[in-house]
Amino acid sequence: MTVPLSGPAPVVLIAEELAPSVLEVLGRDVEIRQVDGTDRAALLPALADAAAVLVRSATQIDAEALAAAPALKVVARAGIGLDNVDVAAATERGVMVVNAPTSNIVSAAEHAVALLLAAARRIPAADASLRAGTWKRSAFTGVEVTDKVVGVVGLGRIGQLVAQRLAAFDVTLIAYDPYIQPGRAAQLGVRMVSLEELLREADFLTVHLPRTAETVGLIGAAELATTKRGVILVNAARGGLVDEAALADALASGQVGAAGIDVYATEPCTDSPLFQLPNTVVTPHLGASTTEAQDKAGTAVAHSVRLALQGEFVPDA
């Protein structure tokens, strides 16, 4: 049951498009305002009297944004990655940061698998070619996934779901993640290896890391040079984990056979060397863009916002 808020209606700023369920959960006793969070000139003044701000991944809630929000009690990230929120600066100001860490993991995992299969079978390029009126079969010869080695970089929630789904293709699963319990990997039939070994052995490589100071640039030119020639790489985690220029060079030379990419170092991104190559499958950060994931993420953080505005304990969403 929703507990009514006391006092004047707090301003809740919605800075990105969120599921319709968000408004229902936020209720009628808050004042909803909308702003385009990617437009800094609009965002900063809009934060001036906001008690809560809700974002996805495109809005930067950095120290400057927090300084512009003296009444802010809670930043709600309707999704997983917190790399667009300066959590340390928020904490210093006494502003709570909430996210929805399991809301979109299934969608993100399914998208990574979709990119992997689409890259292996060159589906978008073949689709474009047929729509352009050409019937080419030999130009789009792909590779099978079955009996190959799949390397998962980051065996967290999404990496594990990807591993479970790809296990159905009878692959050998290896993973690099220094922080994971070896027992969990064994349960999933995944052999934990070093990053060097993973790069050497994988036929398919899929990245599921958060974007942190430690992970940015983890896979660059030097790492790509050590992979099997023709490896297929998927990044549906965060831009910048795989160096984009190095990846484009490796795709052009054939060192990387194909890549499925959902995320970019700078977003929105409409101009990348990756978009000019025939052996890439690219999507505009769609990993969490399903009805189900958006509904779960929006509902979870809207509940957390209400609790925060009531001054209540906010459990993990």
Nearest to 64 by CA among 84, 79, 81: 84
- Pick out residues in 86-105 that bind ligand MLT (CB under 6 A): 104
209 binds, among ligand MLT, ligand NAD, none (CB under 5 to 8 A by kind): ligand NAD
Q: Is 210 in the site for ligand NAD (CB under 6 A)?
A: yes
**Which of 10, 27, 37, 79 is close enough to bind ligand MLT by CB under 6 A?**
79
236 binds, among ligand MLT, ligand NAD, none (CB under 5 to 8 A by kind): ligand NAD
Total binding residues toward ligand MLT, as defined by CB under 6 A = 8
Q: Which residue's C-beta sits nearest to ligand MLT?
A: 79
124 binds, among ligand MLT, ligand NAD, none (CB under 5 to 8 A by kind): none
Q: Is 285 in the site for ligand NAD (CB under 6 A)?
A: yes
**Which of 15, 52, 53, 56 is close enough to bind ligand MLT by CB under 6 A?**
56
231 binds, among ligand NAD, ligand MLT, none (CB under 5 to 8 A by kind): none
**Which of 287, 299, 309, 317 is close enough to bind ligand MLT by CB under 6 A?**
287
- Pick out residues in 136-195 that bind ligand NAD (CB under 6 A): 154-159, 176-180
Nearer to ligand NAD, 61 or 80 (CB): 80
Query: Any long-range contacts for 3-10 (C-beta under 8 Å, 24+ apart)?
Result: 3/306, 3/310, 4/29, 5/29, 5/30, 5/306, 5/309, 5/310, 10/51, 10/52, 10/73, 10/309
Q: Is 56 in the site for ligand NAD (CB under 6 A)?
A: no
Contact 36, 12 (CB under 8 A): no
Residue 55 C-beta: closest distance to ligand MLT, Å: 8
Q: Is 205 in the site for ligand MLT (CB under 6 A)?
A: no
Q: Is 239 in the site for ligand MLT (CB under 6 A)?
A: no
Side chain identity at 127, as an amino acid letter? Answer: D
Q: Which stretch binds ligand NAD (CB under 6 A): 113-121, 163-171, 232-240, 243-251?
A: 232-240
Q: Is 156 in the site for ligand MLT (CB under 6 A)?
A: no
Residue 245 C-beta: closest distance to ligand MLT, Å: 22
Q: Is 80 in the site for ligand MLT (CB under 6 A)?
A: yes
Neighbour order of strands in the sheet with 256-261: 190-192, 172-176, 149-153, 204-207, 231-235, 256-261, 280-282
Catalytic residues: 238, 267, 285
Nearer to ligand NAD, 69 or 155 (CB): 155
Residues that bind ligand NAD (CB under 6 A): 80-81, 104-105, 108, 154-159, 176-180, 208-211, 214-215, 236-238, 262-263, 285, 287-288
Residues that bind ligand MLT (CB under 6 A): 56-57, 79-81, 104, 287-288
